[in-house]
Structure 1
Amino acid sequence: MLEARGPGAAAREVREETGLDPGRWWALEGVGIYFHPPTGQARVMAMFAAEAGAADRVTLSREHAASEFLGAAAAGRRFLWAAQRRGLESVQREVLRGGALARALEVTQMMKRTR
């Protein structure tokens, strides 16, 4: 079920919260696992990376007050959760280096089908 809902949910969240429609997407190798206190359950979360165009502008949803584009180190310092920092490290290692791994993880065509 995660495979069917994960990509669609990720694309929908990006559109709803930022107004962006990224041109490229990658499914990161790892998943996030966290404990959800209200339900008493451990949850598994697929992690995706998306590439926005240099001229794209963020349109904030009601859930956000501001946006800012930062380098990896500055962004990492603002993250609350260690899992978020690990996700950022995954993007650097798996996507930004390019090569065979980045090509294997690219799911752009799958994401286009979920629109």
Structure 2
Amino acid sequence: MNIDRLREIIPLNEPDYCEECHKENLRGWTNSNRLETKLLKLGKIESLKNKGYEAYKKGEENRFSSEATAALSYYPYNGSSVYQCISCKGVILIYLETGGHAARYQARWISSRVSLKP
């Protein structure tokens, strides 16, 4: 899924809370709590230039914060799949984090307030 298609499916006026997906807890990258098994998978991110494990750096921005830019060519966005909650229509990106002690899925809610970059 490219950036234009992603922008098309992100709801403009969605609630900040959902009992089904609990997106309010996913403003920054965090454990997916098995959402990848519960939500509708729409596809994988198609980045313009895959930057591998290079992280997007915009000043002093923390890439794991709720205000972080979603730069689709950069890690971890470039390895993400796009999911949508059937209940609230919220868009959630999920990727498999393989660093650390054990592999685990990480998720981030992409609301209309999140800045998207190719």
TM-score normalized with structure 1 length: 0.24
TM-score normalized with structure 2 length: 0.23
